Amino acid sequence: MDNQIIQANALFGQIQTGEPYRCPNCGAAIRKILHYNDYGGHACWKPLDAYGNHLHYLSCYNCNKVTRVAQIGSTVLPFDWPMNVTGEGEARTIQAALTEIIRQVGPQGGSQDPAASIVYRLLAGTLAPEAAISQIRAIVDGAMAGMLVEEPVPLFHGVQEVVE
């Protein structure tokens, strides 16, 4: 998907679908993307850690600002924490940002992996756990069906066993 900028609602910045990402403050190209754990994630569990794989920071050398973004696939959405929110409220904000990406760009968010799409929709709260399990089983069953062999299987050179 080509880099696109999609206007989100007032709580969030503009969705960017693919690199090069632009600084939402000055418009310069971003030179560094920092992962949550590299920028300030802590070893001890807190509600935010559950979303660590989707929380990144865009570092701009032009204006020296760091912007928090939610990310699914190659799509990012800048956002700020609401005032006086910590812990569970921060986690809900990230969930809302992921939901906004899914709403505007789709569950793949630039990624075409079906299993990842299921997990992202589950995290965003747009897919029930039972439905996610069912869809994952369908993927596994489809993969297993492709592995079934209906032809004779060679056991040793020149010897075959017929599978019935």
- Quick one: what percent of the chain has pLDDT higher than 90? 5
Which residue from 60, 52, 54 is spatially nearest to 24, judged by alpha carbons?
A: 60
Note the pLDDT tens digit of each residue in 79-119.
887 777 777 788 888 888 888 888 877 765 655 567 777 77
Total-model pTM: 0.59
Which residues face 35 on adjacent strands? 56
Residues 6+ apart with CB under 8 A from 107: 72, 117, 118, 120, 121, 126
For residue 108, the tally of other CB atoms under 10 A from its CB is: 20
Residue that wins the pLDDT comparison between 117 and 78: 78
- Convert the pLDDT of each residue in 35-70 to its tens digit: 887 766 555 557 777 788 888 888 888 998 888 899
Helix or strand holding residue 153 (H, E):
strand 153-156
Domain residue ranges of the chain, discontinuous segments joined by +: 5-106
Q: What pLDDT sits at residue 67?
A: 87
Q: Which of 75, 51, 55 is nearest to 67 (CA)?
A: 55
